[in-house]
Structure 1
Amino acid sequence: MENFLYIVLMMFLGYFFKRVNIFERDVATSLNQFVIYISLPALILLQISQLTFSFDILIPVIVSWSVMVFSALIVLAVSRMMEFSKEITGMLMLVAVLTNSSFLGLPIIQAYYGAEALAYIMVYDQLGVFLALATYGTFVSAFYSATTKITPSIIGYKIITFPPFIALIVALFLNGITFPASIELVLNSLSATVIPLALVAVGLQLEFKLPKDELKPFSVALFIKLFIAPLIAIAICYIFAWDNLASKVSILEAAMAPMITAAAMASMAGLSPRLSSAIVGYGVIFSFFTSYLFYLLIL
């Protein structure tokens, strides 16, 4: 219970700071950059370097990519059936497919399963969602935007220069190596900033203005992301008879809210920025309840 109170408090502080204009408008971006460039790499170095490799490590990767592929196909089918515009379809291909696997997944899933879940969260995030964000996300934002061009070199550059991905590669090379006490202390201190800074940044970016004329795509996005995606994950784990911590973490990761970075990418590409912000804002709140329901379901 204390962990959830902490999550709510940090998000509320961020939202409160936003409402009273204590910080500059771009402070959420600065916090996210600190998390991406410093906090997450430190956490990845700590967790992945000590990971014991087994088939369980592949489960989050398989589940994450499977969920994203099927979710994207469903979005395309529903968008065509409901005759959504190209702009709204592109936005849905981002926010209804990519999950908030780190900023929300880290504190929520850790609250359920403890520190043992962190390594699986990192694998799901880095080898699943991040790679999809850098490749699939870049392609979607370019394809559905009239002004953006995309090349394989741009995608490759985004991947190899992303700090958490660099940390992941380094951690894999250092697997099994024990860090000196001084380095471990520094990494522990930096990695401890992931959750509080990320949650405050989420609060600072929450947007609750629901456009009445866009209720259908709004409902479609949240239904696919919060209900269909985790059900796909459950089906995959059931088919392959996976019933362990790795599979449970993967299912709850699939049940997380839409990725805030995906909404930011949609906004930068001009893909329904107002609607994407509303989907993320409500999605964060709703996911607290829906993820708990799926947690009870897979106990």
Structure 2
Amino acid sequence: MENFALIAIAILVGYVLQKFKIFPEETSIILNKYIIYIPLPAIILLQVPKLTFSFDVLIPTIIAWLVMAFSALIVLFFARIYSWSKEITGSLLLVSILTNSSIMGIPIIELYLGEESLPYVLIYDQLGTFLALAAYGTFVTAYYSASGNIHAKVIVQKIITFPSFIALIFALLLLGQEFNPLITGVLGQFAATLVPVALVSVGLQLQFKLPKDDLKPLSIALLIKLILAPLIAIGICYLFGWNNLAGKASIFEAGMAPMITAGAMASMAGLAPRLSVAIVGYGIIFSFLTTYILSLIIV
């Protein structure tokens, strides 16, 4: 309940600040840059070195990456049909692919599947969503935010200078290592600011009246993230016979709301900021209903 309360209150605070014009209009841009440059790298450096690889992690990991891959192909399919701009395509490749696997995933899945499902939730989050945010998210941001002619050199330069990618490289070099408690404490304090700051930023940018042109990509993004993604996960589990707790937890994870940090990343990169925030905001609201319906199907 604490996570749900934080989500609701922080978004409301941001929305009230927006309506009363208490902060300058560029505040959300500054907050998004803060997220990308400070707490996100801090979380990567804290969490990635803890990862261990074994057979037990395969099911959630395989489902996570297959769901993201198929979802990305669906986004590209719709982008081609509707001739979306690079900004809209890049936005949906972030916010309709990357899932809110921990902030919302942990309390919701624990509610429906019990505490014993949490190890699989964490595996999906760390080896699936989290690594995708650092690697895939960096690539999408670099590729779709590049202006003019796109050259491989420009893309590579954007990727290798992106804060989350630099943090990921350092973190992978430190696998199995433990930081000094002082360093861990400092990183933990910075990391703890990500969620409330990102949620306030969502509230600062949230618009309930959207331009007509945004409604179609918004609807398709929510369709992919909240309905098609868990259906893809169900299909994968059926194909491989994974009718177990790991499979069920992964299906729930696939159907969670869009990742808040992905929205911040898209906004900071100029990938349809208004649309990106709307997808995250509406996705959080509708996900409470869709995950409940999902629970009636698979629990």
Do they fold alike, i.e. is TM over 0.5? yes
Q: CA deviation at 1:108?
A: 0.9
Conservation of the 8 A alpha-carbon contact between 1:94 and 1:137: yes
Q: Do structure 1's residue 43 and structure 2's residue 43 form an aligned pair?
A: yes
Aligned partners of 1:122, 1:229: CA distance in 2, in Å?
Answer: 18
- Residue 257 of structure 1 corresponds to 258
Conservation of the 8 A alpha-carbon contact between 1:50 and 1:175: yes
Aligned partners of 2:59, 2:30: CA distance in 1, in Å?
Answer: 33
- Residue 84 of structure 1 corresponds to 82
- What residue identity is the alignment partner of 2:3? N
- Residue 225 of structure 1 corresponds to 225
Conservation of the 8 A alpha-carbon contact between 1:96 and 1:225: no
- What residue identity is the alignment partner of 2:63? V
Q: Do structure 1's residue 125 and structure 2's residue 138 form an aligned pair?
A: no
Q: CA deviation at 1:201?
A: 1.6
Cα distance per residue 1:118-176 (max 9 Å; x no partner): 5642432343244333334544566xxxx622122222222222222222222222222
Instruction: Tell me: CA distance 1:63–1:5, structure 2 relative to 1, closer, same or farther (3 Å).
Output: same
Identical aligned residues as a percent: 44
- What residue identity is the alignment partner of 1:66? L
Conservation of the 8 A alpha-carbon contact between 1:41 and 1:163: yes
- What residue identity is the alignment partner of 2:132? G
Q: Do structure 1's residue 28 and structure 2's residue 32 form an aligned pair?
A: no
- Alpha-carbon RMSD across the aligned residues, in angstroms, is 3.4
Aligned partners of 1:133, 1:22: CA distance in 2, in Å?
Answer: 32
Where do residues 4-153 of structure 1 align in structure 2 (5 Å cutoff)?
Answer: 4-57=4-57, 59=59, 62-78=62-78, 84-87=82-85, 90=86, 93-99=89-95, 104-112=100-108, 113=110, 117-118=121-122, 120-140=124-144, 148-153=148-153
- What residue identity is the alignment partner of 1:132? Y
- Residue 284 of structure 1 corresponds to 284
Instruction: Indicate the larger mover: 180-189 or 242-251.
Output: 242-251
Q: How many residues align?
A: 288
Where do residues 175-254 of structure 1 align in structure 2 (5 Å cutoff)?
Answer: 175-212=175-212, 215-242=215-242, 243-245=244-246, 248-249=249-250, 251-253=252-254
TM-score normalised to the size of structure 2? 0.77
Aligned partners of 1:84, 1:140: CA distance in 2, in Å?
Answer: 17
Aligned partners of 1:211, 1:167: CA distance in 2, in Å?
Answer: 37
Q: CA deviation at 1:251?
A: 4.5
Cα distance per residue 1:104-126 (max 9 Å; x no partner): 44321232348854564243234
- What residue identity is the alignment partner of 1:131? A
Cα distance per residue 1:67-96 (max 9 Å; x no partner): 33323433454566xx52443xx5553344
Instruction: Indicate the larger mover: 191-200 or 236-245.
Output: 236-245
Aligned partners of 1:15, 1:140: CA distance in 2, in Å?
Answer: 28
Q: Structure 2: which 5+ residue stretches go unaligned? A: none
Q: CA deviation at 1:214?
A: 5.8
